[in-house]
Amino acid sequence: MSWYDEVEYIRKQAKLNNEFFANSLPMIASENVLSPLCREMLITDFHGRYAEGSPGKRYYEGCKFFDNVEIKAMELAKKLFNCSYADVRPTAGTTANIGILKALIKPGETATVLDLANGAHISFGKWGGAGVRGINLISYPFNDEMMNIDVDGAVKLIKKVKPKLALNGRSVFLFPSPIKELAEAAHEVGAYLIYDAAHVLGLIGGKQFQDPLREGADVMNGSTHKTLPGPQGGMVLSDHKGDTDEDKSFLRKLNFGIFPGVTSSYHLHHVAAKAIAYAEHLEFGKAYAKQTINNAQHFAQALHERGFKVFGEKLGFTKSHQILVEIGPGKGKEASKTLEGAGIVTNMNTIPGDTDPFRPSGLRLGTPELTRLGMKESEMEAVADFYQRALIKKEKPEKIKADVKEFRKDFQELHYCFKEGFRGYDYHKLI
């Protein structure tokens, strides 16, 4: 096989991947698709350039045009999230998490966290970024029925252990967190409240979830490629204004935590695409977030009616883009593989009570990408039928996959973004 053949092999895999997702139902809650304008930024010359530092304070020359882009990205981010501080440099949500930990807590100091089995993200666990930082982690009590942090227990815990940071990082994020109560307790003992909005950043930007920075969070960070449908990346936000010496010190620490803390150059083409995503979300975010949540709620109800055990029933199953379904002891992976064979892309997930993350008992499902493709409540009924056929009726996956492909034919256009021909752009050509 020649090197040319190797290149063709890689190109073929990319094409096959495109075809697979174009004919499937992508329902991983942490994934989304890019708009044409965002994709355009990823193939610009920004891709191969370096810009260590911040606008006007670079270690490299040739950054004057990118400086304009980064400044604009920060302006748009501040407007979208109604805050005074925005750092758009993190290359991922986890990178943002680790940068904040580097900035605000020392090895050996204590942070309160949500346990992984109760929906926390691994970056705030002992195997992830918090463990790398050497932090002493103490878990909040959890209310399984409410699928949320036990408010009274968490407040008592914070007051008792007096952590340096009270962390709110969640990978299963069905309902708003009790940020006001946790922040009051944290501030009483001199701690900062950190809200990891990785999954719900777009819902917050669309004003359809909670508003952590107004509820007392000192920092909100997140991923820019989930419910906020931008490129792979992260960001850090705060409403601390730097109008006191203590505030100035706090913001300097945040800056230093991201650069040089966890970034060198930081994927300039992604920053440009983030800026586009912020602008698109300012235009379409409210409608997109609202429909995403409506779809999730309707889908959860439809699954429940078809015999699935869906968490959060007493509270309407979900108030976000996510649904958590119990499949059976250790059966999450088996179910996700069955669904993949039927053209439905999901992921296994731990549920309360699970102890082995590699043999979880549930599935985490999300509606961001289906919503972006134009699906609404009525389509959620059809999608729930596919799940019932695959996991309850045990029909052959190949038959369901063919029906899913036929169903997807009507949903190939991207919504909630600037469309073809926007101000004369032709997305079939390079800029």
151 and 177 in contact (C-beta within 8 Å)? no
| Calpha distance 152→356 (Å, rounded) | 28
Mean pLDDT of the chain: 94
Domain ranges for the chain, please list them: 38-278
Instruction: Work out the average pLDDT over 169-176.
Output: 92
Whether the per-residue pLDDT at 378 is higher than 50: the answer is yes
Q: What is the pLDDT of residue 19?
A: 96
pLDDT given for residue 428 in this prediction: 45
pLDDT band at 426 (very low <50, low <70, confident <90, very high): low
Is the confidence at residue 308, as pLDDT, over 50? yes
Percentage above 70 pLDDT, the chain: 97
- Structure confidence by residue, pLDDT tens digits, 47-98: 999 999 999 999 999 999 999 999 999 999 999 999 999 999 999 999 999 9
Q: Which CATH architecture has domain 38-278?
A: 3-Layer(aba) Sandwich (3.40)
- 421: confidence class by pLDDT, cuts 50, 70, 90: low
* Residue, of 242 and 208, whose pLDDT is higher: 208
pTM value is 0.95
Nearest to 256 by CA among 231, 236, 233: 236
Give the angle subtended at the CA of 171 by the CAs of 293 and 368, to the nearest 5°: 30
Cα distances from 392 to residues 22, 274, 296, 324, in angstroms, run 25, 41, 20, 17
Percent of the residues in the chain that have a pLDDT greater than 90, as a whole number: 87
Q: How confident is the model at residue 130 (pLDDT cuts 50, 70, 90)?
A: confident
Average pLDDT score over residue span 240-257: 94
**SS3 (DSSP) at 216:** coil
The answer to whether residues 209 and 322 touch, using CB atoms and an 8 Å cutoff, is no
* Nearest to 309, CA basis, from 147, 162, 107: 147
Cα(139)–Cα(169) distance, integer angstroms: 12
pLDDT in tens, 322-349: 999 999 999 999 999 999 999 999 999 9
Residue 149 has pLDDT above 60, yes or no: yes
Two tokens at 196?
Answer: 């990891």
Least confident of 145-149, 248-252, 331-335, 340-344: 145-149
Q: What's the confidence (pLDDT) of residue 431?
A: 39
422 — pLDDT class (breaks 50, 70, 90)? low
Q: pLDDT digit string (tens) for 18-33?
A: 999 999 999 999 999 9
Beta strands in 140-208 (DSSP E): 142-143, 148-149, 165-169, 192-196
Evaluate whether 281 touches 202 at the Cβ level (below 8 Å).
yes
